[in-house]
Chains A and B, each alone.
Chain A
Amino acid sequence: MNYGFVIDNRKCIGCHACTVACKAEHDVPLGVNRTWVKYVEKGSFPDTRRLFSVLRCNHCEDAPCVTICPVTALFTRQDGIVDFDPNRCIGCKACMQACPYDALYIDPRTHTAAKCNFCAHRVEVGLEPPCAVVCPEHAIIAGDLDDPSTEIARLVQIERTTVRKPEKGTRPKVFYIEGERAALVPGETDTEEAYVWSQGREPGVEPRAPAPGAPGRLDDRSWARVQSVMGSKAASARRTYDAGQTHRDSWGWKVSAYLWTKSVAAGCLMLAPFLWGWGNPPYEARLRMAALALSLIFLAATGVLLVGDLKRPGRFLWVLTRPQWRSWLTRGSYILLGFGAAAAGLAAAEWLGLPRLWNLLAAPAVALGAAGAVYTAFLFWQAKGRDLWQSPLLPLHLLVQALTAGLAAMVLVKAALPAPLPLDAGGFLETWLWRALALDTALVLLELLAIHPTEDAARAARWALSGPRGAWLAGGALMAGRLAPMALLYLGHPAASAAAAALALAGLAAYEHLYVRAGQSVALS
């Protein structure tokens, strides 16, 4: 048994009955939708056509939301329905990043994730979902794809069907008859501030104020601009109605801050054994102690941010007690747990003067530090909805960022300690910070400027590079946050090095924030 939907666009008239029937069945609150209809218009008058698309959960054979969910709140039933349990959800919103189809939202009543669940509660009493029941045109066909006698199985066999984003490898089970690219590929049309019958849903958008300028005609130049804008719009497909369910920034500043604090924590932990003297003269003990303390403090901050970003923070322990092992959120949590233990062990060894414990823990600590830095890359890879985050450079980049952050932190600590340090091996920290920054800069440029494997990844990168964000990126993250500190480090003056370290840390934070936002800037539907 394998349930799925066919949306027959030969018959769909875009009436929104399915949207309302679904709201009625689940009492879906205002502001969120389990299913909705998008309108796209194509062509110039009089060869204009409007395309209707019913959008919803695809009940994927290989559902990325199920894979990423850390607590089994999302699961695939034996009958192929991807269902969810709000009583298990911790509100981490990872599923919203994983789903390439924009199917999930956070229910404002329970603060847990929700989506179309094929009305599993009705299926179990033998009824079709109400969207299929209500449809005046029988354009939504629900049923068992495995049973050759069903209408849906026949349609999928006989008619040419298409699915949304097949390249994601999720094997979606909502099949469109006459599904057109302009309607099903979100990037084909821009999202708008307002649609023909509804306001847009971008946060903070209020009805636009009257256009400035005197009544009557525009001057020639402005008119030419208006015409050119309109001309290009008229020629391409336009999104004219949408529920505006774009879910931009479901991961906000807390997630970008978490990346940063985690980088500092991991970097400091990885550095500590080197400061002990691996291959180098050992450093001043206060520096080592500071590295471990900073690692623990920033790890704690990381934890606070992670829990704070949950919509149900009270349930944070469930990641550990109800683990779903395929999720890198779960794996990452256990890694951070081990990380904390290693850091604490090293600190104890340092404090109590137990060199054998030190030696025993040093290698695992470096490994856990590296794992703590890198695992987020695998988590981001599981966020299949976000093309920018699928970059193969990401693990390396996170590792380099962690080392940069750790080195910068140590340079700052060094500056704070009464100088000169008795044991300072000839600018080891500064040298390596310079190298790390150089590598990081290269990686940043590669991430954003390289040829992107998908159109959406390129779109996300363009988003990061355009407008005020581009200025931030170039001026802030790159110039002030990377190139300037490299120059300052070159001066070799302690105060300049400290300033360089501070700038580098700020530059890292700025880039993380931009990267997290850019990944989510592309509409999923």
Chain B
Amino acid sequence: MSGRSAAGFRPGLVERLFRRLQGKPPLVVPPMPPRGPLSLYPPVDSWDHWEEYDAAAWPRRVKRTYTLVPTACFNCEAACGLLAYVDKETGRIRRFEGNPLHPGSRGRNCAKGPATINQIDDPERILHPLRRAGRRGEERWERVSWDEALDDIAGRIRKALKEGRHNEIMYHVGRPGHERYIERVLKSWGIDGHNSHTNVCSASARLGYQLWTGSDRPSPDHANARLILLLSSHLETGHYFNPHAQRIMEGKMRGARLVVIDPRLSNTASMADDWLPSRPGSEAALLLAMARVILEEDLLDRRFVERWVNWRQCLRAEHPGDPETFDGFLIRIRERYAAFTPEMAEAESGVPAADIVRIAREIARAGSAFAAHIWRGAASGNLGGWQVARALQFLSVLVGAVGTPGGTSPAAWNKFSPKLFAEPPAQTFWNELLFPREYPLGHYEMSFLLPHFLLEGRGRLDVYFTRVYNPVWTNPDGFTWIEALSDESKVGCHVALTPTWSETALYADYVLPMGHAGERHDIQSQETHAGVWFSFRQPVLRAAAERAGRKTTFTHETNPGEVWEEDEFWIELSWRIDPDGSLGVRRWFESPYRPGAKVTVEEYYRWIFENAVPGLPEAAQALGMTPLEYMRRFGAFEVRRGVYALHESPVPSDQLEGAEADPATGVVRRAGTAIGVLVDGVARRGFDTPSRKLEIHSAMMKDWKWPELAMPGYTRSHVHHETIDPSRGELLLLPTFRLPTMIHTRSGNAKWLNEISHRNPVLIHTSDAARLAVRTGDLVRVTTEIGFFVNRVYVTEGIRPGVVACSHHMGRWRTSEKGGSRWAAALVSIQRSPEGVWRMRHQSGIEPFDSDDPDSSRIWWREPGVHQNITFPVHPDPVSGMHCWHQKVRVERARPDDRYGDIEVDTRRSMEVYRRWLAMARPAPGPAGLRRPLWLARPVRPAPETFKVPEDAASPDT
């Protein structure tokens, strides 16, 4: 027995003797198979039939056979590749690993990828369509058939369309997970009804980037950078965690330095060479001080800035008398930022001036290989947070790190956007519940103000779809959402399309179960690096069935229960809205291959793969496959790699025919549309801004009533440190940060993720804790402008003094034993006092429960965390429309009657705060009587004529 045995143990003499005595056959020890080096994935040519040993039976060697089907993760937005192991015998998905052929995720995943199987096997998931049977929110449900649900909803929509009530139909999405699918559906209905989550997420960062580059997102090339500056926590979360985390560390291992600006010691900050824990809200000052160092010390890339920044326009607008010379511009710009001394930035941010100067010089040394990224964080937390993104991009521009290897490109360069088989015309409606006049520059829909608009009487909704969206929980001021959603005169019919229970679904009329990753079709593309790819999310059991020769017509045939996929739902619903074609809706859902017949989801994607992806038909043909077969087999396609310096590329000569260059600006236009800009006498593509250059000066800001913000600057945050007095128990609450294991409220049903992280104590610095006389584990009451929540504290040296932080994700709740995920949600009671004050109290924490999954009886954690967002009022940034998340709070030791998880909110105060912030806006119309600048992006863009504010309409009642 001693020493090493073969593949298994070797039975000893006594055991052999006893076996013989018992008349049992001798144990046979299988020899170990000879092996070479191990590989990460089964070879692609064995994906149809992959044999491996059953882990549960091991060390008995029981063979199981799988068919391996690629799909894409649907937890965060990154759309990482997954490879589903479908057991050929049981027909079930055994597990998910990474898809090695995916250019973004390269076969690797974060914790949420393999946890997808929890979501699929969740015993609490919704398997059948449900219809409300009691009051809204009462949680009495009855099962209905899909036909009943579809006919009822379609009938309502048809009626609204026929009566011209187009603006009463709205689709509100949290995680889209697709490219342009819904845009086409909504356009086919002719409605302006697309609402999103963007303004509680990334609106400010988008505006900051948009102003510079005309593309609302950055695409940093981390892997090739010499210095990476993050105001985000991309080593643990973010837009796009896993793909970016891979490339950040790849860059770092090649010698790049990593600098992280964050008031909290995120895991990302902990990995950094320099952690700059600046005061929240001061980031723009910090970055502008770095810009000043680069300008003062003449460390900028003069050639790049001279060629690609709209400095002439800047001089003309801001200093009309000046001669138009680049040196003159530099003098002016140095003047402009002279006030941002390192000392001033230190006073604002708390970061030592010497560090600011040092990092600025390092950025300049990195030059064109300086990669930078902000997505949410400071941009989403602060009033004027978009200036942070703008100041960060300023640094990239100054050192010429735009579109370069190791630099930051506009996201549009690295994202694939498909053309679709028939594009309905733009709608001719403008829905002011989405784009109200107060926010002409909003990025984008004023989603989180929807209940306030409804309660103010700005409109009503007849059919309101929420899809993978949980505003009651995720958005600020959830009780106002509950008030609006509960009012049938404001919301006629609320349809929740969701794979899992959410707090919002509790206030629905229909809860319609939709598939998780691996249970639906989609294509998705993200700007993860300097390349272009897209991934094909597919229902894996359907794909497996087809591989096995079983033809399926609808995805729900292979999904569990009566779970549908959205794509088929929208086709089916649209068809029923217009069964005879008289509304002009139906024709957009007729097959491109079988005229007059209803399009199938397979035909929809087949058409894209055959007609809209450069290189795909050829790649498929080379393997003897159709493009659809290729995508079903490999799950992802790389359209381009090594995408750099697209702004330099000359405008193709065929496009130049009939084009004219503006003599003053050099912008090349064809039929009124800017297609490039003259640089060095050549018409080049440039950037998607009005000047086709990087805009240090935005004429739009000036024209749209914000002249003081025409150039990058520093806006004092609503939580500026001078407004907060820690000696009175006032602190700044940073409520936005995420954990690597969780994604909003969608991961609540993943048991393995919940096991790792299930509570969200208030992080507080040792000195602040001492001032409040609290220790780790003690309860505190955190009071906001509209109410309070009670949570424990966690005392740490990993946060800036004066700042407390509470993670997003946790604090889920349910109000009854039905409806809600018991893995993650506390049972609560909700009461509303006659004066309108809402109170929520935990009745029980997380408890083990019996289900088909024996693990549910092994739940060992009890704390569900505390819901904080519901105690926040809305803070719409007057320019970007972003909800400014940071809160000035009062933190005190819990009072005698306070219990863990207690929440109190006065929604009358919510409305007051809403009105106060609304009054800061500078409403449309802008130049030419427009609602919104024409060049600015807008999801599901309406027809140009609808951009004009109607002459007869009264200005909105604010």
A280 contacts chain B at the CB level, 8 A cutoff: no
B899 contacts chain A at the CB level, 8 A cutoff: yes
* B37 pairs with A150, CB closer than 8 A: yes
Stretch in contact with the other chain, from A78-86, A295-303, A440-448, A466-474: A78-86
* B14 pairs with A322, CB closer than 8 A: yes
Partner pick for A144 among B37, B265, B268, B270, CB 8 A cutoff: B37
26 contacts between A and B (CB under 8 A): A13-B740, A15-B235, A17-B113, A20-B112, A23-B114, A26-B56, A30-B755, A50-B798, A72-B9, A78-B5, A83-B8, A122-B52, A123-B35, A127-B38, A127-B42, A136-B245, A193-B777, A198-B755, A199-B862, A226-B769, A226-B775, A229-B775, A231-B766, A233-B795, A234-B766, A234-B797
User: Which secondary structure dominates chain A's binding surface?
Assistant: loop
Which residues of B sit under 8 angstroms from A135, Cβ to Cβ? Answer: 108
Which residues of B sit under 8 angstroms from A214, Cβ to Cβ? Answer: 896
A426 contacts chain B at the CB level, 8 A cutoff: no
How many Å lie between the Cα of A352 and that of B61 in the bound state? 56
How many Å lie between the Cα of A18 and that of B850 in the bound state? 28
A385 contacts chain B at the CB level, 8 A cutoff: no
A119 contacts chain B at the CB level, 8 A cutoff: yes
A364 contacts chain B at the CB level, 8 A cutoff: no
B246 contacts chain A at the CB level, 8 A cutoff: yes
Partner pick for B249 among A11, A50, A126, A199, CB 8 A cutoff: A11
* A126 pairs with B98, CB closer than 8 A: no
* A227 pairs with B774, CB closer than 8 A: no
* B7 pairs with A217, CB closer than 8 A: no
A326 contacts chain B at the CB level, 8 A cutoff: yes
B854 contacts chain A at the CB level, 8 A cutoff: yes
Which residues of B sit under 8 angstroms from A417, Cβ to Cβ? Answer: none
* B5 pairs with A75, CB closer than 8 A: yes
How many Å lie between the Cα of A323 and that of B95 in the bound state? 37
* A76 pairs with B899, CB closer than 8 A: no
Which chain A residues (176-203) contact chain B, with CB distance < 8 Å? 192-194, 196-199, 201
* B855 pairs with A29, CB closer than 8 A: yes
B944 contacts chain A at the CB level, 8 A cutoff: no
- Residue of B whose beta carbon sits closest to that of A222: B773
* A43 pairs with B797, CB closer than 8 A: yes
Which residues of A sit under 8 angstroms from B861, Cβ to Cβ? Answer: 198-199
Which residues of B sit under 8 angstroms from A21, Cβ to Cβ? Answer: 97, 109, 111, 114
- Minimum distance in angstroms from A417 CB to a CB of chain B: 44
Which residues of A sit under 8 angstroms from B10, Cβ to Cβ? Answer: 72
Shortest 10 CB-CB contacts between residues of A and residues of B: A197-B757, A121-B53, A50-B270, A218-B773, A321-B18, A75-B9, A15-B740, A30-B858, A20-B111, A72-B9
Partner pick for A136 among B108, B756, B773, B777, CB 8 A cutoff: B108
Q: A13-B245, A136-B245 are in contact. Are A117 and B265 (CB under 8 A)?
A: no
- Residue of A whose beta carbon sits closest to that of B755: A30
Which chain A residues (123-152) contact chain B, with CB distance < 8 Å? 123-128, 130, 132-138, 142-144, 147, 149-150
Per-residue 0/1 for B108-144: is the Cβ within 8 Å of any A Cβ (1 yes, 0 no)?
1111111101000000000000000000000000000
Per-residue 0/1 for B248-287: is the Cβ within 8 Å of any A Cβ (1 yes, 0 no)?
0100010000000000010110110001010000000000
* A127 pairs with B775, CB closer than 8 A: no
B726 contacts chain A at the CB level, 8 A cutoff: no
* B759 pairs with A198, CB closer than 8 A: yes
B895 contacts chain A at the CB level, 8 A cutoff: yes
* A226 pairs with B770, CB closer than 8 A: yes
Which chain A residues (42-62) contact chain B, with CB distance < 8 Å? 43-46, 48-50, 52
Which residues of A sit under 8 angstroms from B807, Cβ to Cβ? Answer: 197
A520 contacts chain B at the CB level, 8 A cutoff: no
Which residues of A sit under 8 angstroms from B862, Cβ to Cβ? Answer: 199, 206-207
B107 contacts chain A at the CB level, 8 A cutoff: yes
Which residues of B sit under 8 angstroms from A15, Cβ to Cβ? Answer: 110-111, 235-236, 245, 267, 740-741
* B755 pairs with A117, CB closer than 8 A: no
Which residues of A sit under 8 angstroms from B763, Cβ to Cβ? Answer: 196
Q: A46-B275, A197-B758 are in contact. Are A240 and B740 (CB under 8 A)?
A: no
* A199 pairs with B758, CB closer than 8 A: yes
Partner pick for B110 among A17, A25, A210, CB 8 A cutoff: A17
Which residues of A sit under 8 angstroms from B789, Cβ to Cβ? Answer: none
- Minimum distance in angstroms from B728 CB to a CB of chain A: 13
Which of A's residues lie within 8 Å of B, judged by CB? 1, 10-11, 13-17, 19-21, 23-27, 29-31, 41, 43-46, 48-50, 52, 72-73, 75-80, 83-85, 87-88, 108-109, 117, 119-128, 130, 132-138, 142-144, 147, 149-150, 192-194, 196-199, 201, 206-208, 210-211, 213-218, 222-223, 226-227, 229-231, 233-234, 240, 243, 320-326
B303 contacts chain A at the CB level, 8 A cutoff: no
Which residues of B sit under 8 angstroms from A120, Cβ to Cβ? Answer: 7, 58-59
B12 contacts chain A at the CB level, 8 A cutoff: yes
- Minimum distance in angstroms from B142 CB to a CB of chain A: 33
How many Å lie between the Cα of A45 and that of B802 in the bound state? 12
Which residues of B sit under 8 angstroms from A125, Cβ to Cβ? Answer: 51-53
Q: A197-B757, A223-B770 are in contact. Are A325 and B12 (CB under 8 A)?
A: yes
* A29 pairs with B858, CB closer than 8 A: yes
Per-residue 0/1 for B739-752: is the Cβ within 8 Å of any A Cβ (1 yes, 0 no)?
11100000000011
Which residues of A sit under 8 angstroms from B56, Cβ to Cβ? Answer: 26-27
* A14 pairs with B38, CB closer than 8 A: no
* B4 pairs with A78, CB closer than 8 A: yes
Highest count of chain B CB atoms <10 Å: which of A25, A52, A207: A207
How many Å lie between the Cα of A43 and that of B271 in the bound state? 14
- Minimum distance in angstroms from B7 CB to a CB of chain A: 6
Partner pick for A134 among B11, B53, B108, B896, CB 8 A cutoff: B108
Which chain B residues (1-32) contact chain A, with CB distance < 8 Å? 1-12, 14-15, 18, 32
How many Å lie between the Cα of A321 and that of B14 in the bound state? 6
- Minimum distance in angstroms from B834 CB to a CB of chain A: 27
Number of A-B pairs, beta carbon distance below 8 Å: 321
Highest count of chain B CB atoms <10 Å: which of A16, A43, A84: A16
User: Which secondary structure dominates chain B's binding surface?
Assistant: loop
Which residues of A sit under 8 angstroms from B756, Cβ to Cβ? Answer: 16, 19-20, 197-198, 243
Count of chain B residues near A, Cβ 8 A? 116
How many Å lie between the Cα of A123 and that of B766 in the bound state? 48
Partner pick for B39 among A11, A13, A127, A149, CB 8 A cutoff: A127
Which residues of A sit under 8 angstroms from B798, Cβ to Cβ? Answer: 41, 45, 48, 50, 240
Q: A21-B114, A208-B777 are in contact. Are A143 and B38 (CB under 8 A)?
A: yes
- Minimum distance in angstroms from B68 CB to a CB of chain A: 12
* B863 pairs with A48, CB closer than 8 A: no
* A147 pairs with B37, CB closer than 8 A: yes
Which residues of B sit under 8 angstroms from A52, Cβ to Cβ? Answer: 267
Partner pick for B5 among A17, A77, A147, A218, CB 8 A cutoff: A77
Given contacts A16-B741, A75-B8, A135-B108, 12 further A-B contacts (CB under 8 A): A23-B114, A50-B265, A77-B5, A77-B32, A121-B53, A124-B32, A133-B97, A134-B114, A206-B862, A230-B769, A243-B756, A324-B12
Partner pick for B235 among A13, A123, A207, CB 8 A cutoff: A13
B547 contacts chain A at the CB level, 8 A cutoff: no
Partner pick for B4 among A31, A76, A215, A325, CB 8 A cutoff: A76
- Minimum distance in angstroms from A257 CB to a CB of chain B: 27
* A215 pairs with B855, CB closer than 8 A: no
Which residues of A sit under 8 angstroms from B41, Cβ to Cβ? Answer: 127, 133
* A31 pairs with B860, CB closer than 8 A: yes
Which residues of B sit under 8 angstroms from A150, Cβ to Cβ? Answer: 37
How many Å lie between the Cα of A83 and that of B117 in the bound state? 26
Which residues of B sit under 8 angstroms from A127, Cβ to Cβ? Answer: 38-42, 52
* B114 pairs with A45, CB closer than 8 A: no
* A10 pairs with B253, CB closer than 8 A: yes
* A216 pairs with B1, CB closer than 8 A: no
- Minimum distance in angstroms from A3 CB to a CB of chain B: 9
Which residues of B sit under 8 angstroms from A49, Cβ to Cβ? Answer: 265, 270
Partner pick for A210 among B97, B277, B898, CB 8 A cutoff: B898
Partner pick for B751 among A30, A88, A213, CB 8 A cutoff: A30
* B7 pairs with A197, CB closer than 8 A: no
- Residue of A whose beta carbon sits closest to that of B790: A210
